């Protein structure tokens, strides 16, 4: 990458993504320009960059015109050697009762994202949306250079503390051999030092040999001593046995949510990875077909209830995670959510 190209991109756009508050048409234009620069940096063909521009313009424009507290996340999406661009839209109302009808061209309900959804669905390689009247709408879309890959089995979102350019929260997903592993990490404090601790945990996690969660947490603890330290947890989804293995140090919350919304909490032990570790233990929990694993940092409260969102658990991990972040994330801390399910 040339230094000039990297400098032209907003900080964070090439790693964890960038959030935009979209409340005016000028903000929508800024999002579109950032999306086009990101697509160029990722080597996306001009034709698909033009398609991305349409998707972002329609999405951000409708947030500015019709949504309450509209936010948009712009970030890279990667699959093997290919890279695309993902956008996630979040608003707090008024929501839509008939999502499928809203994707028809020309349909709109006053104050909703109805206008433009048909264009978004046509130009994006993949799109998913959930909406609840009175709560708001979440939409996720991806634009790829060629044919889109299979939908992901795990994904998450992070958001920095208000006023900070980077977040100390992070997540990572691995599928090597027979193991499906996910990591959620919360660097101690916030700001750049917390961000550095989490980025180191993500880097090490990606390069470790196959191992169960407790061994992964122990390896991360032993490699984070030169950083500020972090709370972190690792979960493994075992399809053959229908269970999730879980190990954590510090204040990371993990929950298994059944298809009917019933919740079962998972245990993280006290400690700070890299500095304080009394013990590391691994626990096993049943994982029924259709259940999801939800993990989050302490910037997200536990009062969220899946039964308040009809049909949500059948949607993509991105849409579920964005809904939780919208309604349970706080502005007084970095916030991070990860959702995983067996394919």
For domain 3-143, the CATH class is alpha beta
From the list 154, 230, 233, the residue with the least C-alpha distance to 189 is 230
- Please state, for a pLDDT cut of 90, what percent of the chain lies above it: 70
* Domain spans in the chain, listed from the N-terminal domain onward: 3-143, 154-340
Given a cut of 60, whether residue 34 has pLDDT beyond it is yes
Rounded to two decimals, the pTM is 0.91
Same CATH fold assignment for domains 3-143 and 154-340: no
CATH number of the domain located at residue range(s) 154-340 in this protein: 3.60.40.10
The confidence band for 1, taking pLDDT boundaries of 50, 70 and 90, is very low
Per-residue pLDDT of 146-156, as tens digits, reads 999 999 999 99
**HSE, side-chain direction, 13 A CA sphere, residue 18:** 18
Spatial separation of the C-alpha atoms in residues 321 and 172, rounded to whole Å: 14
- In order of 39, 56, 98, 192, 206, the CA distances from 109 in angstroms are 32, 20, 10, 42, 45
């Amino acid at each position: 990458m040339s230094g000039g190209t990297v400098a032209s991109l907003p900080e964070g756009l090439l790693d964890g993504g960038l959030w935009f508050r979209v409340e005016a048409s000028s903000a929508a234009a800024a999002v579109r320009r950032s999306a086009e620069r990101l697509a160029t940096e990722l080597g996306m063909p001009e034709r698909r960059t033009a398609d991305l521009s349409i998707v972002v313009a329609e999405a951000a424009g409708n947030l500015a015109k019709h949504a309450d507290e509209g936010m948009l996340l712009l970030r890279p999406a990667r699959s093997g050697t290919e890279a695309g661009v993902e956008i996630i839209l979040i608003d707090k109302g008024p929501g839509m009762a008939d999502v499928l009808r809203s994707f028809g061209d020309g349909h709109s309900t006053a104050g909703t994202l109805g206008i433009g959804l048909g264009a978004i669905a046509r130009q994006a390689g993949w799109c998913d949306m959930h909406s609840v009247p009175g709560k708001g709408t979440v939409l996720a879309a991806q634009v790829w250079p060629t044919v889109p890959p299979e939908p992901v089995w795990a994904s998450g979102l992070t958001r920095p503390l208000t006023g900070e350019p980077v977040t100390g929260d992070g997540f990572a997903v691995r599928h090597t051999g027979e193991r499906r592993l996910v990591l959620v990490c919360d660097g101690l404090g916030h700001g750049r030092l917390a961000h550095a601790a989490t980025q180191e945990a993500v880097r090490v996690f990606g390069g470790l040999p196959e191992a169960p969660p407790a061994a992964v947490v122990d390896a991360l603890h032993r490699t984070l001593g030169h950083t500020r330290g972090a709370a972190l947890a690792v979960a493994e989804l075992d399809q053959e046995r229908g269970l999730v293995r879980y190990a954590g140090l510090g204040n990371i919350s993990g929950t298994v949510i059944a298809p009917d919304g019933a919740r079962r909490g998972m245990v993280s032990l006290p400690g700070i990875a890299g500095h304080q570790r009394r013990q590391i233990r691994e626990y096993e929990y049943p994982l029924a077909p259709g259940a999801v694993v939800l993990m989050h940092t302490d910037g997200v409260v536990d009062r969220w209830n899946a039964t308040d969102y009809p049909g949500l658990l059948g949607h993509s991990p991105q849409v579920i995670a964005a809904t939780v972040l919208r309604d349970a994330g706080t502005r007084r801390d970095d916030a991070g959510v990860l959702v995983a399910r067996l394919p």
